[in-house]
Chain A
């Protein structure tokens, strides 16, 4: 009588299997570098010199910066008679610098038709725009701080910290709004609508209930502003991350 040999398969235990699966997945999947690592690589490989793709961009940006500077310093007493007005003005106008820094790139790439070529480069248009936006928001904060220092010198009642927090909050709230809308729908008209609604929205809010609007700016505890600022800055970075990973969108914006 034939004796059946019992076949023995050396099955690995669960722990070993889990380990092997993890190893295979780790080797097979390309790990996405984090947002900050990507930015660091861009800074290292591209550098700040290439932030501007065209000399006309640089000229345009300096002109805009100069114009905003003139609005702030040459005739400050036209619009700002009260402290609340100074804060309102800062909240409203702070993002403008950031905006002009960021948006000109879009228009420039569309008019020159360089979008397609740049989109097929290692660092595509979106990565570069995210990089520029972050760099320009830092530049804007520094410039705002300098302007506020000027305001503080002109108006005794203006508190530097409150003014800085208000202007930076304005900047980030606007940026989040701007990035979110651009993320959903990219077109020149969208840009116009975003800017228009920011300016109109603020002006209307002040017109409809000036005391509430002013109270919010002057009396709202700084900590509330700080919280809004942290929230907006966090959302801003999250949206920038998404923006940076956004290749392969259909067509040109």
Chain B
């Protein structure tokens, strides 16, 4: 179990995270927040790449920084920008990293074949990585994070560069992995984790906003999410009445999905809130540019 106790991170005058208290047991956790909210900072602290300015991070009651290589032996980590040696093949690079992880060559060779199969790269295991697409590199990154069969798997934006088919395969792999270890996936793409995460952690204003199941988080908007059909010309006026979540064109009209916390109009159809709705609602100021 990993516990974050009053963890803060400051860069000079800027506070990235403030008084974070969290507990992670085995299972799949999604760390969801817009870019710049402090996800990578938290991930880097959990990967021992960065020390907290205040508080402590404990693994089974022991400080992860004091555990040193004992903790790193349990850790699998995929950074946001996965670097590689261009002239190496996936097999060579994974062999090198396996050595750094203290895995013997014989054992590593078996594991590497198995993992490259898992991430659908067995045919290119001896090809130089400089010719790989972004998605292929990312899959090598996922494979290296699993080399030591980690008890704690931390993935920072792992689906960046993956196509829809690869994303689906990756989700399947993640839910399989989350059964017997702690998996923490940071992302700003709701659909990556919505269907597979046991719990979602959301950060807002440098603090934890939610740490709960998707269902419970969605309940916070229960009875406030609606859909209705309006004319395109009415859209601007409608924006002043409600918080628009999405809009799509259909037979000359615009179907809008929105949040309204007052008395509803009879023409509005109440709908079940989704995680995406909560995300768009909570981060409406941050994500306007991204939606």
Cβ of A117 under 8 Å from chain B: yes
Cβ of B144 under 8 Å from chain A: yes
Type the 1/0 row for A91-128, where 1 means its CB is closer than 8 Å to any CB of B: 00000000000000000110011111111111110001
Instruction: Report the minimum CB–CB distance from B161 to chain A (whole Å).
Output: 14
* Chain A: interface residue total (CB-CB under 8 A): 29
Chain-A contact segment, one of B84-92, B172-180, B184-192, B276-284 = B84-92
Cβ of B50 under 8 Å from chain A: yes
Q: When the two chains form their complex, are residues A122 and B49 in contact, meaning their CB atoms are under 8 A apart? A: no
Interface positions of B from 72 to 115, Cβ below 8 Å from A: 72-73, 75, 77-79, 81-88, 96-97, 99-102, 104
Residues of A within 8 A of B (CB): 30, 45-47, 50, 53-56, 108-109, 112-124, 128, 247-248, 250-251
Known: A124-B72, A248-B65. A119 touches B49 (CB 8 A): yes
Of all chain B residues, the one with the shortest Cβ separation from A30 is B70
Known: A115-B83, A116-B79. A121 touches B51 (CB 8 A): no
Cross-interface CB contact of B77 among A108, A112, A120, cutoff 8 Å? A120
Cross-interface CB contact of B50 among A50, A56, A248, cutoff 8 Å? A248
Task: Specify which of A113, A116, A120, A248 lies most central, judged by the most chain B CB atoms within 10 Å of its CB.
Answer: A120
A-B CB contact pairs (8 Å), 10 listed: A47-B99, A109-B83, A113-B82, A117-B82, A117-B141, A120-B72, A120-B77, A124-B69, A124-B72, A128-B100
Type the 1/0 row for B12-32, where 1 means its CB is closer than 8 Å to any CB of A: 000000000000000000000
Interface of A (DSSP majority class) = loop
Q: Which residues of A contact B66 (CB under 8 A)?
A: 30
Known: A53-B96, A116-B49. A121 touches B83 (CB 8 A): no
Q: Which residues of B contact A251 (CB under 8 A)?
A: 50
Q: When the two chains form their complex, are residues A121 and B100 in contact, meaning their CB atoms are under 8 A apart? A: yes
Instruction: Report the minimum CB–CB distance from A246 to chain B (whole Å).
Output: 11
Of all chain A residues, the one with the shortest Cβ separation from B144 is A117
Known: A120-B72, A120-B77, A248-B51. A46 touches B83 (CB 8 A): no
Q: Which residues of A contact B77 (CB under 8 A)?
A: 116-117, 120
Of all chain B residues, the one with the shortest Cβ separation from A50 is B99
Q: When the two chains form their complex, are residues B97 and A247 in contact, meaning their CB atoms are under 8 A apart? A: no
Of all chain B residues, the one with the shortest Cβ separation from A118 is B100
Cβ of B37 under 8 Å from chain A: no
Task: Specify which of B69, B77, B97, B141 lies most central, judged by the most chain A CB atoms within 10 Å of its CB.
Answer: B69
Cβ of B207 under 8 Å from chain A: no
Cross-interface CB contact of B99 among A45, A54, A117, cutoff 8 Å? A45
Instruction: Report the minimum CB–CB distance from B80 to chain A (whole Å).
Output: 9
Known: A50-B96, A122-B102. A117 touches B70 (CB 8 A): no
Q: How far is the CA of A219 from the CA of B88 in the complex (A)?
A: 51
Type the 1/0 row for B40-51, where 1 means its CB is closer than 8 Å to any CB of A: 000000011111
Instruction: Report the minimum CB–CB distance from A54 to chain B (whole Å).
Output: 4
Q: When the two chains form their complex, are residues B97 and A121 in contact, meaning their CB atoms are under 8 A apart? A: yes
Q: When the two chains form their complex, are residues A247 and B102 in contact, meaning their CB atoms are under 8 A apart? A: no
Task: Specify which of B79, B81, B99, B102 lies most central, judged by the most chain A CB atoms within 10 Å of its CB.
Answer: B99
Of all chain A residues, the one with the shortest Cβ separation from B100 is A121
Q: Which residues of B contact A128 (CB under 8 A)?
A: 100
Q: How far is the CA of A50 from the CA of B101 in the complex (A)?
A: 12
Cβ of B123 under 8 Å from chain A: no
Q: When the two chains form their complex, are residues B85 and A50 in contact, meaning their CB atoms are under 8 A apart? A: no
Q: When the two chains form their complex, are residues A54 and B102 in contact, meaning their CB atoms are under 8 A apart? A: no
Q: How far is the CA of A47 from the CA of B192 in the complex (A)?
A: 40
Type the 1/0 row for B41-71, where 1 means its CB is closer than 8 Å to any CB of A: 0000001111100000000000001111110
Q: Which residues of A contact B83 (CB under 8 A)?
A: 109, 112-117
Q: Which residues of A contact B88 (CB under 8 A)?
A: 54-55
Known: A117-B79, A123-B69, A248-B65. A50 touches B48 (CB 8 A): no
Task: Specify which of A46, A118, A122 lies most central, judged by the most chain B CB atoms within 10 Å of its CB.
Answer: A122
